[in-house]
Amino acid sequence: MTASPVRIHARAPGAAGSEPAGSAVAPMLTLEQLHAMPAAQQPDYSDQDELASVVGQLRTLPPLVFAGECDTLLDRLADVANGKAFVLQGGDCAETLAGVRADAIRNTLRTLLSMSIVLTYAGGVPVVKMGRIAGQYAKPRSNGVEVRDGIELPAYRGDAVNGFDFSPAARRHDPDRLLRVYNASAATLNLVRAFTYGGEADLRQVHAWNRGFVRDNPAGERYEQLAADIEKAITFMRACGVSDDAFHTVSLYSSHEALLLDYEHAMTRIDSRTGLPYDTSGHFLWVGERTRQIDAAHMRLASIIHNPVGVKLGPTTTVDEALGYARLLNPDNVPGRLTFITRMGAGKIREKLPPLLAGVTNAGVVAAWICDPMHGNTFETETGYKTRRFEDVIDEVRGFFDVHRELGTWPGGLHVELSGEEVTECVGGGYQLAEGDLSQRYETLCDPRLNRGQSLELAFLVAEMLARVAA
């Protein structure tokens, strides 16, 4: 593993006996075997020949990430599992093909990076940065159809499957979209690598965003001290002549839900260094709340790839289920391989998390535990907007920290849906966004995201919690 500041690419292809993961598909699990297993939330393609042609093309395309990068991330996540680092994972609920724009991607990155500076300073531990980015194009839906004015059409399942427009043509499940998503992910990753390596990630510049937030946000006063302290630390380091690549570049990893079996299997390649399969569609893949059945295809695929993987755990999760995931996904109990992403809801976390966390921890399972305070807190307004209250999000994170403190375990991180733009999708926060404001700039095609101001405010609040843990 390289120890240098790694940008997004950890290991140069060909260096030190390392080559990018190759083109052969995982030999121990064929696509046919996967499809023979139960699998929820899969597209219903009408033309199987078209699908086969797309999958064949995907298999020949270059990997989007290298196996060595996934190994580096696994090491960073091992630090999280061992209580020595914190994860910040965030981005869109659903990326869109139309959203692959330089300004939008830059704003998402800036938001993630400014949040991570605040968390790093307050927590005094490294922050592992992962985007829900460059691959987050497929969505599980609780209802397979949508009805408008008496007309029923297939539900929108993310740009990887169909279009958002409410027409039969747009809502058709179209295999060709998998190739478009591959290309969009490649373009996004290319820009992410350029930004994180090319000056955008400069510590001073990113912190300027935090200062702007503290100055402009009505709730900013509370965070003035912390922002000023960070400013002083940066100035001090500069005055001392500390000049390290780490101040100018960052590692930002890509992640998404591994939902579409055809796509994820086609992107799974044998790493020529080790002969092991990696899913090269992203660095970190997770199995969602709706597809985490232990004997189903998503878990099976996750069990054979060597990327670090996650499982979302909702409020109904039992200790036995979680132990089953650990046995299947991480039989050797390797720190960093397995992340549990809990999404209980603000009203349930203090009741549901303690027995689960205690049961799994006492059984000796090593995992990173991170908090998704979004998906258990969604509701619909009377005017039909899906939204979340900023105060519920904060409350769930507080509950998460409280439970970990009581059990003596490490609150390993945060998984959030956010936008780097001033969208109006979640209510509350410093600007006291009201339900009536949602229509101003409601742009998500799926779940509501925190906007830039709400995201930074969340970071400052979580920083206070993290500082108490670190103290």
Contact residues for Mn ion, defined by CB under 5 A: 93, 447
Q: Considering beta carbons, is residue 206 or 346 the nearer one to ligand PEP? A: 346
Which CB atom, from 8 or from 438, has the smaller least distance to Mn ion? 438
- Pinpoint the alpha helices (H) of 363-451: 390-407
> Is the CB of residue 18 less than 8 Å from the CB of residue 72?
no
Instruction: Return residues touching ligand PEP (CB under 6 A).
Output: 93, 140, 257, 288-290, 312, 343, 375, 447
Choice between 69 and 447, CB closer to Mn ion: 447
Shortest CB 228 distance to Mn ion, Å: 35
Q: How far is the CB of 279 from Mn ion (least distance, A)?
A: 20
Q: Is 235 exposed, middle or buried (0-12, 13-18, 19+ CB in 10 A)?
A: exposed
Residue 103 or 380: the one with the smaller Cβ distance to ligand PEP is 380
Q: Look at residue 347 and give the partner it binds from Mn ion, ligand PEP, none, a contact being a CB closer than 5 to 8 Å depending on partner kind.
A: none
Q: What's the min distance (Å) between Cβ of 23 and ligand PEP?
A: 30
Taking CB within 5 to 8 Å according to partner kind, which of ligand PEP, Mn ion, none is near residue 173? Answer: none
Residue 392 or 447: the one with the smaller Cβ distance to Mn ion is 447
The entry of Mn ion, ligand PEP, none near residue 95 (CB within 5 to 8 angstroms by kind) is: none
Helix (H) or strand (E) holding 306: none
Backbone angles phi, psi at 161, to 5 degrees: -115, -50
| Binding site partner of 248, from ligand PEP, Mn ion, none, Cβ cut-off 5-8 A by kind | none
Nearest CB to ligand PEP, comparing residues 33 and 316: 316
State in angstroms the smallest separation of the CB of 374 from ligand PEP.
7
- Which residue carries 């993961």 as its tokens? 21
256 binds, among Mn ion, ligand PEP, none (CB under 5 to 8 A by kind): none
Considering only CA atoms, which of 215, 331, 261, 252 is closest in space to residue 87? 252
**Rounded distance, CA 356 to CA 340, Å?**
11
Instruction: Give the nearest distance from C-beta 93 to Mn ion in angstroms.
Output: 3
The DSSP annotation for 11-53 comes to: S-TTGGG-----SPBPTTS-HHHHHTS--SS----S-HHHHHH
Ranked by CB distance to ligand PEP, the top (closest) residue is 288
CB of 162 to ligand PEP, least distance (A): 17
Residue 242 tokens, joined: 């500390």
In angstroms, the CA 92 to CA 100 distance is: 12
User: Torsion angle, CA of 205/111/64/286, rounded to 10 degrees?
Assistant: 150
CA distance 97 to 257: 17
Q: Which does 343 bind (CB under 5 to 8 A by kind): Mn ion, ligand PEP, none?
A: ligand PEP
Shortest distance (Å) from residue 93 CB to ligand PEP: 5
Kindly tell me which of 93 and 230 has the beta carbon lying closer to Mn ion. Answer: 93
Q: Which two tokens stand for residue 260?
A: 């579409």
Structure tokens at 131: 């985007």
Other CB atoms within 10 A of residue 103 CB: 9
